[in-house]
Amino acid sequence: MLKLKDVSAFYGYIHALKNISIEVKEGTIVTLLGANGAGKTSTLKTISGMLKPKKGTIEFQGRDISKKRPEDIVSLGIVQSPEGRQVFPELTVLENLKVGAYTRKDKNIKNTLIKIYDYFPILKERKNQMAGTLSGGEQQMLAIGRALMAKPKLLLLDEPSLGLAPLIVNNIFKIIEEIKKEGTTILLVEQNAYKALAIADYAYILETGKVVLQGNAKELKSDSKVKSAYLGG
C-alpha cells in the first residue's frame, strides 16, 4: 500500500533521513522504533507531505505522492495523529473532530463520529469542552479520533502512548488493534517497543536516520539485539 524507496530528507543541513526504505502492506500494523532523534517523526512527516524528501520516492497505492501537498495527501487517505497530540486548544472537542473530517465530501461523517464516540466515550461527554482543557490522555484520544474522522486508509500514529498512565496506554493499544480490525492500515511510531511489537505485524528499527533492522514483529521481539537495546533486557 505504501512504499518508501531510498528516501532522504533534510532540515537545512541536518540530514534527518538517509536512504530510508519502508513498506506498509494493506491491512497490517507496521511499527517504527528507535531512540530519540532517530528520524521516526521525520519519516511520518515526509509521508504526510510536511517534509519534502530530497531524494527517493514515496508510493501510495501505486502513485508517487512525494511531491504532493499535505492536503492532497490527506484526501488520498493518509492521515496523521501527530507527536505530542497537537489538538487545537481553543476549539471544542467536537470542532477538533470536525477539522479531522475537513477533506471529506461524503454524507457519512455522522456515522464516523458515532464510531469514534464508541471508541472513546469520554470524547462524547466532553464534546463541547475546549480541547486545551482536556487531560493528556483525553487529548491523545482526541488526536487519534480526529485523524480517524478523515476515514483514512492509512493511519499514521506518532507516539500515541507518550506520557500516559499504564492503564490508558493499554486502552489505547487495544483501540489501535480494533482500528486495524475495522480495516485501517496503521503505521505506528512508538517508544514503547514492547507494546508496539506485541500488536504489530512488521517492524523497522531506525538509528540516526537509517533503517538498521527490520523483520516480523514476533521475530524482532525475541531478537537478542533488539531485546538489549529497546526492550530493556
Ligand X SMILES: Nc1ncnc2c1ncn2[C@@H]1O[C@H](COP(=O)(O)OP(=O)(O)OP(=O)(O)O)[C@@H](O)[C@H]1O
By CB under 8 A, name the binding residues for another protein. Answer: 48, 50, 69-71, 74-75, 79-80, 82, 86, 88-91, 95, 98-100, 102-103, 146-147, 150
Confirm or reject binding of residue 39 to ligand X (CB under 6 A): yes
Q: Which does 214 bind (CB under 5 to 8 A by kind): another protein, ligand X, Mg ion, none?
A: none
Q: Which three cell numbers stand for residue 22?
A: 519502508
DSSP label at residue 153: S
Q: Judged by CB, which is closer to another protein: 49, or 230?
A: 49
Confirm or reject binding of residue 161 to ligand X (CB under 6 A): no
Site string for ligand X, 5-24 (x = CB under 6 A): ------x--x-x--------
Q: Which does 89 bind (CB under 5 to 8 A by kind): another protein, Mg ion, ligand X, none?
A: another protein
Chain mean position to CA 130: 24
81 strand-pairing partners: 157
In the set 40, 68, 195, 221, which binds ligand X (CB under 6 A)? 40
**Stated length of the chain:** 233
Per CB under 5 A, which of residues 55..84 are in contact with Mg ion?
A: 83
Chain mean position to CA 34: 15
Residue 141: which of 112, 107, 118 has the closest Cα?
A: 118
Q: Count Cβ atoms below 10 Å from residue 165 Cβ, excluding itself.
A: 12
Residue 121: which residues within 8 A CB-CB, separation 6 or more?
Answer: none
Q: Which three cell numbers stand for residue 48?
A: 504526510
We find the least distance from the C-beta atom of residue 125 to ligand X, in angstroms, to be 31
How is 123-139 classified by DSSP, letter by letter?
Answer: HHHTTTSBGGGS-HHHH
Q: Judged by CB, which is closer to another protein: 56, or 84?
A: 84
Distance CA 34, CA 226 (A): 10
Confirm or reject binding of residue 41 to Mg ion (CB under 5 A): yes
Q: Judged by CB, which is closer to Mg ion: 40, or 85?
A: 40
Q: Which residues bind Mg ion (CB under 5 A)?
A: 40-41, 83
Query: What is the contact surface with ligand X in residues (CB under 6 A)?
Result: 11, 14, 16, 34, 36-42, 83
